[in-house]
Structure 1
Amino acid sequence: MGLPELLFIGALTLGCVFARLNSRQPSGYTPHRIVGGADVPPGEHVPYQVSLQYKARAGQMHFCGGSIVAPNRILTAAHCCQGLNVSRMSVVAGIRGLNERGSRSQVLTYTIHPKYQELVTSDLAVLSIDPALKLNNVSITSIEYQSKKKEFVGGGVPVTLTGWGLRLPVPFPFLDEVNYPNVLQRMSYHTISNTECKNAGMESVTDTEICARGPFRGACSGDSGGPLVMQTENGPRQVGIVSYGLVVCGLYISPDVYTRVSTFSEWIGSQLES
C-alpha cells in the first residue's frame, strides 16, 4: 500500500472526526505548517509576512504567522493569542529564515474579535506592536486587505499561502529538521465554494470563512494566523487568515478553512484607528 493510500485512510479514520487548529502554540501544543510548499528563493521577499514568536526557556520560538496591515499593527488568528502572556510575545518582520535577525517588535496588546468561537467563527485578532515597523516596500511592507466592493471570493480563485510550516502531512518523531524548515515556504492552490467545502467534511463552515484545497498541499501547524493572498490588478490583497483544518494536513479531501477577511474589514480598520 502506497503513501497516498495510507494518508487517505488516516484522514478517514482521524481527520473526519477531529479538527485541528493550525498553530504551533507554546507550552506543548501541537505545531502546524505548510504541506507541499517550496522555499521562497534567496533574495526574494514576502514583505507583509511576519513570524509570531514566544519567549520560552530555549529562546524565541515561532508559533504562528501574521501579516502587516499598518506599521504598528499585525493581523493574525485569535487562537494564536488567546490565553498567552503578551509580555512574552513578539513579531519578527523582514526575514526569509527563522534564524535571521530581521526587525523585532514587542507585542503590547492583542485584541480578539468579540464574536470569536474556536473552530466556529471570527478567528482573528489584531496585535499592537512597539516599535512600529519601518516600511521600506522591499523587505517590509503592509498588505492591502480591503476591496472597494467588498468582493466575496468564491470558488476557483488562485491564492497563495506563505508560512514557516510543517512540510509533511503529519510530524514524524526525531525529524524536526525535515518537519519544520527554517526557510519561509510558499504554496499556491485554489479556493473552493463553501458548498464544496461543506460536502468535503467541513459541515460547519459559514460565509465568514473561505476554503481552499489542493492535492497534497495546504496549511498545517505553525501556519495559523498567516495570510492567504490573491493577486489583483492593484497588487496582492489578503483574503484569508489561516484558521483550521482536519487532523491530517494537505490531503485533497481535506480543505483548509480561513477567516474571510472581507467580512471583517471594518472591524480591522477600527483596530487600526484605536
Structure 2
Amino acid sequence: MYRSTSAVLAGLLLAFAAPAFAAPESREAPRIIGGEDAQTGQYPFMVSIQRLSMGDSDHGRHWCGATLISPSWVLTASHCVQGDRPADLAVLGGVTTLSSDPAARASNVKAIHVHPAYNSGNSLEHDVALIQLSAPLADAQPVTLRLRPDASYLKPGRDFTVIGWGDIDISEDRRYPTRLQTVQVPFVPFAECQQAYGGELSRGKVICAGREGMDSCQGDSGGPLLLKLREGWTQFGVVSWGEGCALAGYPGVYARIAEKHAVDFIEAVWQKD
C-alpha cells in the first residue's frame, strides 16, 4: 500500500474499505518506525503536503512528505497528488514540528506535475511528481538531488536516512507525531527485495531499504531517502510503498531518482528558480 495518509482518509470515509487511490489491499502505507525526533533545522528542505479539506491544524492536515528542490519547486510521490487540483493542497516548509493549534491555511500551489508514465497499479512505477509553488518559500535551503548514476552507493552495508511525520506505532493503532522523525535504514539488494515482492518490482526503477523494526510508514509517502555526502544532504529516492511497516523480510520501496525516466521527467519539468 502507498505510504501516504490516503488509507486513513479512506478508512474514515468507508469504514476501512479499500484505501483512496485504489492501492492494492496487501500493501500498507509507510511511516517512520524505530526512529527518533529530528533536531530543529536538521532537515531544512523537508516540507509537509497539507490536504486542506482534512483538518483545521497543520498536524491534522498533513497528507504526505516532500522535499524542497529549489525555492519554488517540491518533489514528492505521484500517488500523493494524482487527481488533485492545486487548490486542494498547500505546502508547508520551514518547520520541524507540525502545530496542533487550529489555524487556517491557504493553498500556495501553482501547478502539479505527475510523471506521465506513473503506473497506479501493482508496480507503482515512476512514483515521482513535482509541485510548483505560487511563490518561493522564504529562507529556502533545498536538498541536492542525485540525478547522476548512483549504483556505487547502492551496496550492502549502506545505511540511508528516511524522515517524515508518518505513523510511529507498529501495532494496528495509528499514532502520528507532531515532531519530524528520522531513522537509519539499511540498503537491501534488488534480488533480496524481489524475493519479497516478486514481479511487482521493476529492476533499476526502485531502491529498497529497511529492516525489521526500522522503516518508513503511513504518512511518510513522498518524503526522501537520503545520504549525507560532501555536498550535503543528497536525495536518492522517494518514499513509495511497502508490505506492512517494518515487517521482517519486507523492506520499504522507494522510487529511484537517478533512474533515466525519472531524470528525464525532472529535468524537463523543473524550472530551477
Shorter chain as denominator, the TM-score bin is: 0.7 to 0.9
- Structure 2 CA distance for partners of 1:109 and 1:171, relative to 1, 3 Å: farther
Unpaired runs of 5+ residues, structure 1, are 1-19
Matching of residue 53 in structure 1 with residue 50 in structure 2: yes
Q: What secondary structure is seen at the aligned counterpart in 1 of 2:97?
A: coil
User: What code does the residue aligned with 1:265 have?
Assistant: V
- Per-residue Cα deviation, 1:73-129 (whole angstroms, up to 9, x for no partner): 10000000012232020010010111089x986112111111100242000100011
Give the structure with the higher percent strand: 1
- Map 1:194-233 onto structure 2 (within 5 A): 194-206=190-202, 207-233=204-230
State the partner residue of 1:189.
185
- Structure 2 CA distance for partners of 1:46 and 1:64, relative to 1, 3 Å: same
Q: What secondary structure is seen at the aligned counterpart in 1 of 2:10?
A: coil
Q: What secondary structure is seen at the aligned counterpart in 2 of 1:258?
A: strand
Q: Distance in 2 between matches of 1:186 and 1:215?
A: 16
User: What code does the residue aligned with 2:91 have?
Assistant: V
Unpaired runs of 5+ residues, structure 2, are 12-18, 20-28
Q: Is the 8 A contact 2:30 2:241 kept in 1?
A: no
TM-score normalised to structure 2 length: 0.81
User: What code does the residue aligned with 2:56 have?
Assistant: G
Q: What secondary structure is seen at the aligned counterpart in 2 of 1:66?
A: strand
State the partner residue of 1:159.
160
Q: Distance in 2 between matches of 1:202 and 1:160?
A: 25
- Map 1:100-119 onto structure 2 (within 5 A): 106-118=108-120, 119=122
Q: What secondary structure is seen at the aligned counterpart in 2 of 1:211?
A: strand
Q: Distance in 2 between matches of 1:234 and 1:47?
A: 15
> Once superposed, which parts of structure 1, at least 4 consecutive aligned residues long, lie more than 6 Å away?
none
Matching of residue 71 in structure 1 with residue 81 in structure 2: no
Q: Distance in 2 between matches of 1:254 and 1:220?
A: 12
Q: Is the 8 A contact 1:146 1:265 kept in 2?
A: no
Q: What secondary structure is seen at the aligned counterpart in 2 of 1:222?
A: coil
TM-score normalised to structure 1 length: 0.81
Q: Distance in 2 between matches of 1:21 and 1:163?
A: 14
- Structure 2 CA distance for partners of 1:202 and 1:164, relative to 1, 3 Å: farther
Q: Distance in 2 between matches of 1:260 and 1:122?
A: 8
Q: Distance in 2 between matches of 1:58 and 1:165?
A: 16
- Per-residue Cα deviation, 1:162-217 (whole angstroms, up to 9, x for no partner): 00011122441xxx5xx111000000021111111001235421211110022211
Q: Is the 8 A contact 1:105 1:129 kept in 2?
A: no
Matching of residue 268 in structure 1 with residue 266 in structure 2: yes
Give percent identity, aligned residues only: 28
- Map 1:126-141 onto structure 2 (within 5 A): 126-135=130-139, 140-141=140-141
RMSD: 2.2
Number of residues of Structure 1 aligned to a counterpart in Structure 2:
242
Q: What secondary structure is seen at the aligned counterpart in 2 of 1:28?
A: helix
- Per-residue Cα deviation, 1:3-61 (whole angstroms, up to 9, x for no partner): xxxxxxxxxxxxxxxxx1100127435664211111113x3431110000011263250
State the partner residue of 1:28.
10
Q: What secondary structure is seen at the aligned counterpart in 1 of 2:62?
A: strand
